Chains A and B, each alone.
Chain A
Amino acid sequence: MVLKIVRTVWPVMLTYVAIGAPCGMIMGQTGMEPWMVFALSSTFVTGSGQFMICNLWLAGVPAALIVASVAAISSRFALYSASIAPHLRGASKRQTLAVAATLTEEAYGISLAKLVEGEDWGPRESFVLNVILIATWGVSCTMGAIVGAVVDVPTAIAAFVCTSLFICLLFSQRLSRGNVVAAVSGAVSVAVCKFLGLANIAVPASVVVGIAIALACDAVFDGRGARDAR
């Protein structure tokens, strides 16, 4: 079963190595020991959350705000978890816990497709897939931290890897009016916060601003649509 899953998921594993290594280097540059990098990356399994911790830690942001920011960015897992829940109807509580607790974005996409297709795939296969990807990510990040301690990688270039990753994740979102409004409002809000000297709370506050403006925009357009229909 493990070999069958590896054959399915090897391109994702390669991507994890390519992204995990620079992520580990950046984590190492924030002063994290290799054991810290391994512990954090094999439990978080979210490049954006890990990059965020590093960025905000280097910027001197207080711990409570870092945790709030990581929680805000990781709240998307609630969506993945919510959408995969109906497909785990036949699973035991322990299996549901195992699959949900180890969910990653890529594993979610693959598992959901397999579960929907009704292939020879169940909670056990989903869990093994998750563990394979978590192990790949954790080891890649740790190796990056170890190599990064020996090889001097310029911080600006290494940090731009995470900017590139965020750009990719941003442009992977569905192109809809609400998403565009949320993204533009969030970005503008960050700029306003930073120019006002509120850099510490710029990201979490701007996420809330972006969501609020997108919902308000929807309410206005939906209301106008209903009036037009009448």
Chain B
Amino acid sequence: MPANEFLVLWLSSWAAIAFFRIAPAFALRGRTLSPRITEALGYIPPAAFAALVANDLVNPGAFDAGLWPALVPWIAATGVVAVAIKTKSMLWCCVSGIVFYIVLSLV
């Protein structure tokens, strides 16, 4: 990654992240958000994480390489979902994800 492109990406994204981290703490000292805004902000994490999972799993050209290679990430993801529901642990989800993916790829 070229340094100048990295700097643009890093600094712009950092500015946005810093804004989200800092601004509410200062803006809301002694205030409370309206229920509607709190509700909308609360929907960001589930919508974003579901979109990211779908973005990784949905690939229009996945079946070009055959049925099984296209199904491997979906089956592995199903296994990780079970681990996530059971443990709620990022560590175990990552470990099980790698294991499921490797084992299914070897089948």
Given contacts A168-B84, A182-B46, A161 and B1 within 8 Å (CB-CB): no
- Say yes or no: A53 contacts B29, CB within 8 Å: no
- Say yes or no: B25 contacts A67, CB within 8 Å: no
- Say yes or no: A101 contacts B39, CB within 8 Å: no
- Say yes or no: A44 contacts B49, CB within 8 Å: no
- Say yes or no: B10 contacts A164, CB within 8 Å: no
* Residue picked from A78, A81, A164, most chain B C-beta under 10 Å: A164
Residue of B whose beta carbon sits closest to that of A88: B25
Is residue A149 contacting chain B, with contact meaning CB distance below 8 A?
A: no
- Say yes or no: B9 contacts A53, CB within 8 Å: yes
A69 to chain B, nearest CB (A): 9
B interface, size bucket: 35 or more
Residues of B bordering A, CB below 8 Å:
1, 3, 5-6, 8-10, 12-14, 16-18, 20-26, 28-30, 33, 36, 39-60, 73, 76-77, 80-81, 84-85, 88-91, 93-98, 101-102, 105
The 18 sampled A-B contact pairs (Cβ below 8 Å) are A33-B3, A36-B6, A36-B10, A55-B56, A70-B17, A74-B17, A103-B21, A156-B101, A164-B97, A167-B49, A171-B85, A172-B88, A173-B45, A183-B46, A190-B55, A194-B55, A207-B47, A210-B47
Residue of B whose beta carbon sits closest to that of A164: B97
Partner of A82 from B8, B33, B76, B89 at Cβ < 8 Å: B33
Number of A residues near B (Cβ < 8 Å) is 92
Bound complex: CA of A23 vs CA of B17, how far in Å?
19
Bound complex: CA of A202 vs CA of B55, how far in Å?
8
- Say yes or no: A52 contacts B47, CB within 8 Å: no
Not counting A32-B6, A96-B25, a sample of 18 additional A-B residue pairs whose C-beta atoms are within 8 angstroms of each other reads A15-B91, A43-B14, A73-B52, A78-B23, A79-B24, A81-B21, A81-B23, A82-B33, A85-B28, A86-B28, A101-B22, A160-B98, A163-B80, A164-B97, A165-B94, A171-B81, A171-B85, A210-B50
- Say yes or no: A163 contacts B25, CB within 8 Å: no
Residue of B whose beta carbon sits closest to that of A169: B49
Is residue A115 contacting chain B, with contact meaning CB distance below 8 A?
A: no
Interface of A: prevailing SS: helix
Residues 66-106 of A contacting B (Cβ, < 8 Å): 66-67, 70-82, 84-86, 88-89, 93, 96-97, 99-103
B69 to chain A, nearest CB (A): 10
The interface residues of chain B lying within 8 Å CB-to-CB of A168 are 80, 84, 88-90, 93-94
The interface residues of chain B lying within 8 Å CB-to-CB of A206 are 47, 51, 54
Residue of B whose beta carbon sits closest to that of A100: B25
Is residue A5 contacting chain B, with contact meaning CB distance below 8 A?
A: no
Is residue A129 contacting chain B, with contact meaning CB distance below 8 A?
A: no
Is residue A10 contacting chain B, with contact meaning CB distance below 8 A?
A: no
Is residue A142 contacting chain B, with contact meaning CB distance below 8 A?
A: no
Is residue A6 contacting chain B, with contact meaning CB distance below 8 A?
A: no
Given contacts A190-B54, A190-B58, A182 and B43 within 8 Å (CB-CB): yes
Given contacts A70-B17, A74-B17, A186-B50, A167 and B10 within 8 Å (CB-CB): no
